[in-house]
Structure 1
C-alpha cells in the first residue's frame, strides 16, 4: 500500500496502528518513518477521537526523550525528527510483547488485584503483556513468553534491565518538575544486526503521569473524560523541557557472571566440600561443584554491545571454555 504524507513523497505503508503509521524510508531499506496521528484511543480502540495537535506533541516529546535516553547510554531506534509529526527510525522487528513498569498502583493493576489506586510499590514492578488485540493484550509470564518462542530468557532479562534504567531516567527528570511517573509501557525491537533497542514512542499516550496533587496529565484525561487532553500533554512537555538532564546522575548496573566446572570434569574443591558436609551430617548431598561468581558493575545502562563484549571477556579471561561453563545473570 502506498501512502502520501502531507502532500510529500509517496511512501510504502508498512503498518498502520491505532495512532501511528510506519512508512518505509524511500532513502534507506534499513530505516522507517514513524508518523504520529491526532488519534487517541482507549479500551483496545473501543473509544477513539481526534485531538488536533496530539500527533505533534507526541512526536516532539518522543524526539526529546529518545534523545535524552540515548545521551544516558540507552540504545533506541530513534535517528532524527523529520517533521512536526514524523520521526526517522531504524527498522526493527518488534517483539510481540509490551513491557510495563509500575511505580504506583493504578489502572489495570488495581482492577486485576483490587489494590487501592495510588499505593506506591517499594520497588518498581515490571510486567509483560502479549501484544494481541484479539485477546486484549493479556498479562503473560516470562516462562510463557519463552515457551511460545516470542523471546528468549536472556532477551527478556535484557528488556527488563533497560526498562528499569528508562524508569530511573524518566522518573528523575519528571521529579525535578514535581511530576510523578506512575507507570509506562515500552516496546522493544531487534535490528538487522541483532541489536535489541528501545522502540515505539515515549509520550503521555504510553505513560501515566500525575502532578503533585495526583491529577492525571496523560491519556487518563481522555479515558475518564477529565478535561483538556492536549493541554495536559503540552503541560507535561513544557515541564520536561525545563528539567536539567545534566543533573541526573548516571545509573550503575550490575551483572553476574556465574562460572561452573563442566559435568564430568574433576572438581577437587567440590569433593573436599562434599566430604566436609558429610562429616557435619548432611549425608543426602550427592555432589558439590565449586565455581566462581564475578559481579561486574557497569557505569552505563546495559546494551547488546556490552553483552557482546561480555562474551569476549568470558572467552579471554573469566572462564576456561575447555573445562568450565558460564552464564550471565542480569541483576
Structure 2
C-alpha cells in the first residue's frame, strides 16, 4: 500500500513539536479520514487541500480511500498551517511527487481553494523547532522566507502556490503564481511613539538630573525602576528613552524576542531581526490578558512577553525573561 510522510510543526505556546503527516492511499470506501486529534480548523483542511490540488491541475486520488495520520497522535493539533504538508503527503502517496523528495523537509502554509498559499503566524518558532530536530530544509509562504531564514543553517524555499511546491519537489520548471496575500492580522494600529524610537535619546532631555541618574544606575545594574509623579512631569519622556542607553541584544536574546513577536503575529514581510531592546507602553486600563497573554487553543503573547529583554512602561526591568511589577 502506498504510504508517504511529510513533516510540519505543531505549536503549543512557544514550544514546537515536529509532526509526521502520514498518508495512506488504498482501495476502500472513497473519502478522506484524518486522525491524530485535529481541531475544527484542521479538520476543514481536507476540503481546502482537495480543491487546491484539483484547481492546481494535479491528480487527486478521487477513487481511493485516503487516511491521514498526524503523529504523534496524543498531541492536540490546531491551525491551518498543516495544509501544505497534508497536500504534499497525499500527492506523494498518490505517486505525483516522489516520496523521497520529502525527506528532511518541513512544510508550513495555509492553502486557498485555487492552490495559492497564505501566510501564517509563528513561522520562526516552527522553523527553530524543526532545526533543533535535524531538519535542514523548509517550505514557507514567500513573504515569510526572510523570517524563516533567521534560523542559521536552514535552507528556506519561499513559494507562492502548491504548483510551485510540486515543481520544486519534482525538479521541473517553477510556474508563475500570484503574490501571497498578507496575514489577516496585519498591523493597523500603533502607539504614538512607535515610529520614532530611533530618534529619541536620553541625552536630549534637559534637567531632571537626579531622575536621569537613577535611570542610568537601574539600566547599568539590571534593577527594577518605578517612576511616580503627576501628569506632565516627564515620566514617559524618560522611560521611552531608556532603550537608548541599553546595549544591543545578544544573538540569543534577539532570536528569542523575534520568535515571540512571530508567535504574536507581529512580524510582517520585510521585517528584520530585532536587535534593539524593546519598549512597550500599554494603556493604564489594559486587561490582564493583553498584558500577560493567553488565549484558548493558540496562545498569544501579551505586552510583557513582547517586551522580553527590554522594558515595559509601568512594568520595568533589565533582561528578565518576563518583566514584573
Q: TM-score range by the shorter chain?
A: under 0.3
TM-score normalised to structure 1 length: 0.24
Higher strand share: 1
TM-score normalised to structure 2 length: 0.24
